[in-house]
Structure 1
Amino acid sequence: MTGVSQPIGVFDSGYGGLTILRELVRKLPQYDYVYLGDNARTPYGTRSFETVYQYTLECVRHLFDQGCRLVILACNTASAKALRNIQQLDLPKMDGPDRRVLGVIRPTTEVIGTYSQTGQVGVLATRGTVTSESYVVEIEKFFPELRVFQEACPMWVPLVENGEYTSPGADYFVRQHIDRLLTQAPGIDTILLACTHYPLLLDKIRQFTPAGTTILSQGGIVADSLADYLFRHPALEAECSKHGRRTFLTTDSPVDFDRQATVFYGEQIQSRHLAL
Structure 2
Amino acid sequence: MVVAVFDSGFGGLSLLYEAMKKLEGCDFIYFADNENAPYGTKSIDEIKALSIDAVDFLASKADIIVIACNTATSAAVSDLREKFSIPIIGMEPAVNLGKDADGDILVIATPATIKGAKLNELLKKSNLNNKTHLLPMPKLVEFAQNMEFNSPNVKEYIKNQISKFNSKNISLLVLGCTHFNYFKDSFIDLMPNSKIVDGVDGTIRQIKRKIDELNSKGKNLDTKLLYYSSKKQKDINLITPFLSRLDKMAKI
TM-score norm. by structure 1 comes to 0.79
Deviation at 1:69, TM superposition (A): 2.8
Post-superposition CA distance 1:194-242 (Å, at most 9, x none): 1111111111111111x321011333332233224434x1xx141x654
Pair 164,105 (structure 1): closer, same or farther in 2 beyond 3 Å: same
Q: Find the aligned partners of 1:80 and 1:248 in 2 and give their Cα distance.
A: 24
Aligned to 2:153: 169
Deviation at 1:172, TM superposition (A): 1.2
Instruction: Tell me which of 76, 81, 88 is aligned to 1:82.
Output: 76
Q: Aligned letter for 2:182? A: L
The reply on whether 1:64 has 2:59 as its aligned counterpart is: yes
Q: Find the aligned partners of 1:47 and 1:65 in 2 and give their Cα distance.
A: 27
Q: Find the aligned partners of 1:65 and 1:52 in 2 and give their Cα distance.
A: 21
The reply on whether 1:195 has 2:158 as its aligned counterpart is: no
Pair 252,165 (structure 1): closer, same or farther in 2 beyond 3 Å: farther
Considering only aligned residues, what root-mean-square deviation do their CA atoms show, in Å?
Answer: 2.4
Deviation at 1:169, TM superposition (A): 2.6
Aligned to 2:114: 130
Instruction: Tell me which of 115, 123, 127 is aligned to 1:144.
Output: 127
Q: Find the aligned partners of 1:102 and 1:163 in 2 and give their Cα distance.
A: 27
Contact 1:157 1:197 in 2 (8 A): yes
The reply on whether 1:117 has 2:102 as its aligned counterpart is: yes
Aligned to 1:249: 228
Structure 2 unaligned spans of 5+? 246-252
Q: Aligned letter for 2:228? A: L
Identity %: 23
Aligned to 1:270: none
Q: Find the aligned partners of 2:53 and 2:218 in 1 and give their Cα distance.
A: 23
Pair 230,253 (structure 1): closer, same or farther in 2 beyond 3 Å: closer
Post-superposition CA distance 1:19-69 (Å, at most 9, x none): 110111111131111111111111111111111101101111111121x23
SS in structure 2 opposite 1:33?
Answer: strand
Q: Aligned pairs, how many?
A: 242
| Structure 1 outlier segments of 4+, above 4 Å | 252-258
Q: Find the aligned partners of 1:45 and 1:177 in 2 and give their Cα distance.
A: 17
Contact 1:33 1:245 in 2 (8 A): yes
Contact 2:228 2:234 in 1 (8 A): no
Deviation at 1:257, TM superposition (A): 7.7
The reply on whether 1:38 has 2:33 as its aligned counterpart is: yes
Contact 2:168 2:193 in 1 (8 A): no
Q: Find the aligned partners of 1:103 and 1:113 in 2 and give their Cα distance.
A: 20
Instruction: Tell me which of 198, 212, 217 is aligned to 2:193.
Output: 212
Pair 145,193 (structure 1): closer, same or farther in 2 beyond 3 Å: closer
Instruction: Tell me which of 211, 230, 233 is aligned to 2:211.
Output: 230
SS in structure 2 opposite 1:265?
Answer: helix
Contact 1:52 1:78 in 2 (8 A): yes
Contact 1:21 1:219 in 2 (8 A): no
Pair 186,214 (structure 1): closer, same or farther in 2 beyond 3 Å: same
Pair 256,64 (structure 1): closer, same or farther in 2 beyond 3 Å: closer
Q: Find the aligned partners of 2:174 and 2:27 in 1 and give their Cα distance.
A: 29
TM-score norm. by structure 2 comes to 0.86
Q: Aligned letter for 1:202? A: K
Instruction: Tell me which of 86, 91, 100 is aligned to 1:104.
Output: 91
SS in structure 1 opposite 2:178?
Answer: coil
Structure 1 unaligned spans of 5+? 1-5, 92-96, 268-276
With 215-224 and 18-27 compared, the bigger mean Cα shift is at 215-224
Aligned to 1:17: 12
